[in-house]
Amino acid sequence: MLPLQDIRIVSLEQYGAGPFGSLHLAELGAEIIKIEDPSVGGDIGRQVPPYVEGEDSLFFESFNRNKSSISLDIGTPEGRAVFEDLVRNADAVYSNLRGDVPEKLGIRYEDLKHLNPAIVCCSLSGFGMTGPRVKEPGYDYILQGLAGWMSVTGDPGGAPEKTGLSLVDYSGGLVAATALISGIHAARRDGIGLDCDVSLYDTAISMLTYLATWHLTAGHEPRRTARSAHPSLVPFQTFPAKDGWLVVGCAKEKFWHRLAGIIGRPELTEDPRFRTFADRARHHDELEAILDAELGLRTVEEWLGEMRAASIPCSPINSIPQALADEQTVAREMVVSTEHPVFGTVRQVASPVRVGPVRAEPRRAPERGQHTDEVLRDLLGYSGERIADIRAAGAFGTP
């Protein structure tokens, strides 16, 4: 059995952050039942361009493997009744909606505990369910600006920049997944459920980590560094070689000594300007000029060969196609394939979460409402006649 095969989560999720979090739980065996609102065409991720066909997209496929979908309007009496029956048979209700919406929809623990005293209600929102911004929508780009990330990203003097990936969204999803598993564990231990109030804002602020500690404790003013240089570990940045760029990271003094030897300049380690991290940070520009001149004499591959042999942290600046084709990516089986009736073979990245020897077989993302009848019949025990009545009432969308 997969590690989470005995867990069932009813999810009102959409777009990227929420589905990204539950994706990893699904790949660990958890049953994720997506409730998709038929009045808006389901998860908005189905409509994200450029690769869109009908009610599906490659964006949606990326976040929703190994899940089930039911098309259900919980705003209708019939739809709410179905939702409440699902709550009775689930471990958790998971959503990623605006912070004030869980109360409006009645999906908090206070609203559902009479149905299932052990239910865990996890909300992942932009700003959480408390505070002055509770009613504001929160998106990755907005949070990167608000939480200070963009102030330290990009070259000094240039425009503020966001990260190339939606790291607040993805990190928030992982925090929500951690909260879900923790909440379910506590509910099974104590017999009492609870609310998990997770926000993208909190996630983004928490990831300031040591920069926040430096500022709050010592008054340090974080700033952008040229060529993505580490703020205190020197040398640790990008360098130009003869035919391209590479990253060299001397995170320990021993790596600096090895690097100096490899470039034929062992005397640099005894130079008073470069003996310690603090010395090298004070004389960063001088050291950078020396290393640029030396590393520019040979190709990226030549330097990587020598540095890897000496166990110095280093890498090329891969493109995404190069990263996906890297031998380590292949060896770790980080690309999986599913078959799609329109897109054909969909190749995408696997979850990095590995627990035990067994991995879930990849199953393509569901069509909207694909499992409605199956879930209501097999899980809730509804008769065909009752399902037909609910459908006629419009709870599954316009008849």
The confidence score (pLDDT) of residue 329 equals 97
| Band of residue 398 on the pLDDT scale cut at 50, 70, 90 | confident
| Band of residue 387 on the pLDDT scale cut at 50, 70, 90 | very high
CA distances from 279 to 209, 272, 287, 381 (A): 24, 7, 10, 71
Q: Does the domain made of 8-206+332-392 have the CATH classification 2.40.10.120?
A: no
Q: Where in the chain is the domain with CATH 3.30.1540.10?
A: 226-316
Over residues 382-387, the mean pLDDT reads: 97
Is 378 an active-site residue? Answer: no
Contact 107, 93 (CB under 8 A): yes
Topology given in CATH for the domain delimited by 226-316: formyl-coa transferase, domain 3 (3.30.1540)
What is the distance between the alpha carbons of residues 70 and 87, in angstroms, rounded to a whole number?
Answer: 14
Can you tell me whether residue 315 is helix, strand or coil? Answer: strand
What is the distance between the alpha carbons of residues 113 and 115, in angstroms, rounded to a whole number?
Answer: 5
- Residue-wise pLDDT tens digits, 20-34: 999 999 999 999 999
The 10 Å CB-count burial string (b at 16+, else e) for 6-32 is: ebbbbbbbbbbbbbbbbbbbbbbbbbb
The confidence score (pLDDT) of residue 399 equals 64
Q: Where in the chain is the domain with CATH 3.40.50.10540?
A: 8-206+332-392
The confidence score (pLDDT) of residue 321 equals 97
| Nearest to 368, CA basis, from 64, 57, 143, 71 | 71
Over residues 166-186, the mean pLDDT reads: 98
- Residue-wise pLDDT tens digits, 87-129: 999 999 999 999 999 999 999 999 999 999 999 999 999 999 9
Helix and strand numbers (H, E) in the chain are 17, 13
- Residue-wise pLDDT tens digits, 192-208: 999 999 999 999 999 99
- Residue-wise pLDDT tens digits, 240-296: 999 999 999 999 999 999 999 999 999 999 999 999 999 999 999 999 999 999 999
In whole numbers, what is the pLDDT of the chain averaged over residues? 96
Neighbours of 149 (CB within 10 A): 22
For the CA atoms of 72, 75, 79, 80, the dihedral, rounded to the nearest 10 degrees, stands at 130
| Band of residue 364 on the pLDDT scale cut at 50, 70, 90 | very high
For the CA atoms of 231, 232, 233, 238, the dihedral, rounded to the nearest 10 degrees, stands at 20
Instruction: Kindly give, in sequence order, each residue whose CB lies less than 8 Å from that of residue 298, ignoring residues fewer than 6 positions away.
Output: 241, 242
Q: Which of 37, 56, 73, 169 is catalytic?
A: 169
| Nearest to 20, CA basis, from 186, 167, 127, 164 | 167
Contact 19, 43 (CB under 8 A): yes
Can you tell me whether residue 240 is helix, strand or coil? Answer: strand
| Band of residue 58 on the pLDDT scale cut at 50, 70, 90 | very high
The confidence score (pLDDT) of residue 280 equals 97
End-to-end CA distance of the chain: 39
What percentage of the chain has pLDDT greater than the value 90?
98
What is the distance between the alpha carbons of residues 302 and 314, in angstroms, rounded to a whole number?
Answer: 12
Contact 318, 247 (CB under 8 A): no
What is the distance between the alpha carbons of residues 305 and 93, in angstroms, rounded to a whole number?
Answer: 50
- Residue-wise pLDDT tens digits, 297-335: 999 999 999 999 999 999 999 999 999 999 999 999 999
SS3 percent helix, strand, coil of the chain, rounded to 5, is: 45, 15, 40
